[in-house]
Amino acid sequence: MEKIRKLKASEIEVKVKQVGAKGAVLLLYKTARVDMAILDETYGAMNWQSDYKVVKDNLYCGIGVRNKDTENFVWKWDCGIESREDDEGNQKKGEASDAFKRAGFKWGIGVELYTAPFTFAKVETEEKNGKYYLKDKFQKFFVQGIWYDKDEIGALVIVDQNGSIVFQWKKAGFTPTKENKGE
């Protein structure tokens, strides 16, 4: 089977996990659309497929990739969780997407995200009724640059929607270069 490439900076999403008095904890993640594009790029659109099954009230997704030698599909499965809480019926959509992304991790898509450093952004926050919120409730964050040290993240830069750096990190002893940049 072909080796899955590492994620490009433009393919990594950033969301706020927690807000405190001095800033926000950020999480890096990938979307199901990115997984689909990488599967198409790596194996070809006709050489992979997905399937869903409910096991003990849990939704599982499997991604099957065609083995070139046998023409049979090799399957990897994982379970999803409901990730969106709204009144528009999106809970199951979120569960299906989560299951697909988790099955994608089993194929190696985005596994480097598990090596991300603790990502704390010093951004303006405000407190209301004992809880902290981003001062700019529409503030967005983006991965401006990511460099890889073999199979791990070696350096990372995150900016806000204005291009201001809110997080910058480099692993001790690591040198970011054009060759190890995720672009």
pLDDT tens-place string over residues 134-159: 999 999 999 999 999 999 999 999 99
Closest CA to 6 of 116, 130, 133, 110: 110
Q: Which pLDDT score, from 0 to 100, does residue 1 have?
A: 77
Domain layout of the chain by residue ranges? 1-30+110-183, 31-108
Note whether 132 and 21 are within 8 A (CB). yes
Q: Are 65 and 108 in contact (CB under 8 A)?
A: no
Q: In this structure, what token pair is assigned to residue 14?
A: 């950033």
- Is residue 9 very low, low, confident or very high in pLDDT (cuts 50, 70, 90)? very high
Q: Mind listing the pLDDT tens digit for each residue in 28-74? A: 999 999 999 999 999 999 999 999 999 998 999 999 999 999 999 99
What b-and-e string marks burial along 42-81, b requiring 16 or more CB atoms within 10 Å of the CB? bbeeebbebeeeeeeeebbbbbbbbeeeeeeeeebbbbbe
Contact 30, 113 (CB under 8 A): yes
Say how far apart CA 178 and CA 139 lie, in whole Å: 29
Q: Taking a C-beta distance cutoff of 8 angstroms, is the pair 155, 145 a contact?
A: yes
The DSSP code for 80 is -
DSSP strand E in the chain: where?
13-20, 23-29, 48-55, 58-66, 73-79, 120-121, 125-128, 131-134, 141-149, 152-160, 165-170
Q: What is the C-alpha separation between 69 and 46, in angstroms, rounded?
A: 15
pLDDT tens for residues 71-124?
999 999 999 887 656 566 655 678 899 999 999 999 999 999 999 999 999 999
